[in-house]
Each structure stands twice: as structure tokens, then as C-alpha cells.
């Protein structure tokens, strides 16, 4: 009976932790000088926080991703072992959960946001709402990785460890061109009133190809099977992430550059970093090229993992066990 009761309590605690929660932080002053009024930030928590709050790991959402989308990354053998760490999964501004064009209650049009604005809102979540003066680590992939890089320089002493994967500290010209093409697709779609179900199909197919190598796609789909791939993008849900939300986050990524406030060079910006850093890149990544991250790792003289597979931007997922073990070792040391 006691065992059953204990098991029920554990299950109930896990369910409560997994619930979508919000912090209403009020007005957020943006980097542009404008104000995002009545701002709210979504988040979920998993695991148990130590009494001294020493095991907190923040996990930041990728482009078009949500805290719910990241749950699969938690657990034994995954990116964050929630039997050891207390994980806070954060919804970035513009993702349709936190304040975004689709749920904004302030004066329109929705103001442009930056990666810095996302990070500043998260800092308020952690400090003002959750009562955290510092945490063990911050981790994020893709756009989440960009946020981690920004955290390193905006709040360099807030976390002891920083783990950006397949992100970048500053956009290369190729990155920006990739994103600009995607942005113009979205803006054209929005201008001519294309239904979001169709818009998402076009955009997601384009991003699917950018995020993977041609070798990987051709391995998955034999000659003549391309229509099977097209069919996967029919009826893509558009409720949470229509074109307006995609545009807001895409503009933030195009603008991303952690050197802006620190002399405009990675060399000067690297001097801001205080915590331990573990940078993970994919050698075959064609969506977010790895070179600026590799350069930054060398400037920091820090840990660097270069994934060698044919999965492009999705390289960490194809070698999940390898990456998870490396992250676990870095977090534990």
C-alpha cells in the first residue's frame, strides 16, 4: 500500500511539473527602445530542485519550438537527466505560447523582438518569479543555442555552465541569406493572404531541406519517392505557429550578433564570458554554419564537440547517445 501511494505521489508530481505555466512580467523594454506590454513567458519544470538550488538547468526553445516540444529531450540517457537535475523548459518570445504576434494584447503592430529580448525576459522569469540568483547550466539548440550565446555575455555570471548546440554567436552571411529567403517566403505568404495550412507546408518543406544534407534526404527517399516526402507536409497544424509568429522569430535570428555591445568582434566579446562553456556543432550543418561557433570555442579555449555525420543541422539527434553522454559528463564535472 505504501509503495502504491509513493508511486502515485511521484506520478502526480511529474504531471504537475509538466503543466504549462506562465509568468506575467508586465512591460518589457526591448532593445529597439519600444515596449512589449503585458508580457508573459511560458515554461514547464521537471525533476526536483535541490534545497540549495544547485541542480537547476534551463533549456531554451528552438525556432518554432515550445516547452512541450522539448520534453522528449529529458530523462536518463537524454540531453538532461531529470533524475539528477531540475529542468526548466522555457518558451521563447514569439513562439505562440509566450507573448507573440498571435496573442499580443498591446498596441499593434507587434514590435520587433531580438534574441537579447528573449534572454532578458528569461532573466526576469528566473530571478523575479522563480527566485533564482544563479543556476547550474543553460542549454539550448539552434535558436536556443543563439540564446545561450547571448546569455554568456548578457548575464555572464548567472550560470556556471553554458551549452549551446548547433547555434552560433554571430550569423554568417550564408546563415542570413538562408533565413532571409525563408523570411521573404513568409512575408509574401502573409501579404497575399495564403492560408496558414498551405503556408506552413511550403515553409516547413523548405526548412526540411535546409536542415538536412542532400545525402541524408536521398538515403531516406529513393528515386521516385519524393511525393512521399511531400505528403508528410500536408495538413501541418497552423494554430500555434502561423506566419506572423514565424516572421517575428526569423527576424530575431537574422539580427542575432552577440558582439554588438562589445566592440563588434568575437575576440573582445569572448572576454565577457565567465562560466564554463561546452560548444557542440555539426560539421555538415548547412542551416547554421558551424564556423563562427568553432572560432568562438577556440577563443575561449573551451570544450568543443564537432559531430561528424550526414544529418546536417539535426546532427545531435542522429548521435543522441554520444551527445547526451558528453553533456552529462560536462554537467557533472
Measured distance CA(82)–CA(308) in Å, rounded: 28
Q: Which residues contact 169 (CB under 8 A, 6 or more apart)?
A: 146, 149, 257, 258, 259, 266, 269, 292, 293, 296
CB 27 within 8 A of CB 37: yes
Going from N- to C-terminal start, the domains of the chain cover 21-174+248-332
Predicted pLDDT at 15: 45
Measured distance CA(27)–CA(252) in Å, rounded: 19
**H or E element at residue 160:** strand 159-165
| C-alpha dihedral sign at 326, 331, 332, 333 | positive
Predicted pLDDT at 230: 84
Predicted pLDDT at 7: 42
Predicted pLDDT at 3: 46
Predicted pLDDT at 5: 45
Predicted pLDDT at 287: 97
Predicted pLDDT at 286: 96
Long-range contacts of range 9-15, CB-CB < 8 Å, 24 or more positions apart?
14/46
Looking at CATH, the fold of the domain delimited by 21-174+248-332 is given as Rossmann fold (3.40.50)
Grid cell in block for residue 24: 506575467
Taking 50 as the pLDDT cut, the residues of the chain under it are 1-16
Predicted pLDDT at 171: 98
Predicted pLDDT at 17: 56
3-class secondary structure, 80: strand
Amino acid at each position: 500500500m505504501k509503495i502504491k501511494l509513493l508511486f502515485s505521489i511521484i506520478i502526480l508530481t511529474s504531471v504537475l511539473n509538466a503543466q504549462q505555466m506562465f509568468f506575467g512580467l508586465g512591460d518589457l523594454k526591448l532593445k529597439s527602445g519600444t515596449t512589449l506590454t503585458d508580457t508573459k513567458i511560458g515554461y514547464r519544470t521537471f525533476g526536483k530542485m535541490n534545497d540549495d538550488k544547485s541542480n537547476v538547468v534551463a533549456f531554451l526553445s528552438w525556432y518554432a519550438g515550445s516547452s512541450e516540444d522539448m520534453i522528449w529531450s529529458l530523462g536518463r540517457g537524454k540531453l538532461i537527466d531529470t533524475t539528477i537535475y531540475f529542468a526548466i523548459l522555457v518558451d521563447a518570445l514569439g513562439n505562440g505560447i509566450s507573448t507573440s504576434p498571435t496573442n499580443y494584447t498591446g498596441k499593434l503592430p507587434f514590435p520587433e523582438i531580438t534574441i537579447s529580448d528573449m534572454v532578458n525576459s528569461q532573466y526576469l522569469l528566473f530571478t523575479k518569479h522563480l527566485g533564482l540568483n544563479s543556476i547550474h547550466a543553460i542549454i539550448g539548440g539552434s535558436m536556443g543555442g543563439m540564446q545561450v550565446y547571448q546569455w554568456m555575455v548578457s548575464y555572464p555570471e548567472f550560470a556556471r555552465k553554458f551549452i549551446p548546440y548547433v547555434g552560433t554567436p554571430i550569423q554568417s552571411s550564408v546563415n542570413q541569406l538562408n533565413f532571409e529567403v525563408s523570411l521573404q517566403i513568409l512575408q509574401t505568404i502573409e501579404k497575399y493572404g495564403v492560408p496558414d495550412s498551405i503556408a506552413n507546408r511550403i515553409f516547413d518543406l523548405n526548412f526540411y531541406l535546409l536542415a538536412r544534407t542532400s545525402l541524408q534526404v536521398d538515403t531516406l527517399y529513393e528515386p521516385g519517392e519524393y511525393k512521399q516526402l511531400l505528403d508528410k507536409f500536408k495538413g501541418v497544424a497552423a494554430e500555434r505557429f502561423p506566419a506572423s509568429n514565424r516572421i517575428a522569430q526569423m527576424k530575431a535570428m537574422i539580427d542575432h550578433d552577440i558582439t554588438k555591445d562589445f566592440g563588434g568582434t568575437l575576440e573582445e566579446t569572448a572576454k565577457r564570458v565567465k562560466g564554463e562553456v561546452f560548444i557542440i556543432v555539426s560539421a555538415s550543418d548547412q542551416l547554421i554554419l558551424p564556423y563562427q561557433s568553432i572560432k568562438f570555442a577556440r577563443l575561449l579555449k573551451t570544450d568543443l564537440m564537432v559531430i561528424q555525420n550526414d544529418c546536417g543541422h539535426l546532427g545531435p539527434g542522429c548521435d543522441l547517445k554520444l551527445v547526451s553522454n558528453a553533456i552529462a559528463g560536462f554537467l557533472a564535472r
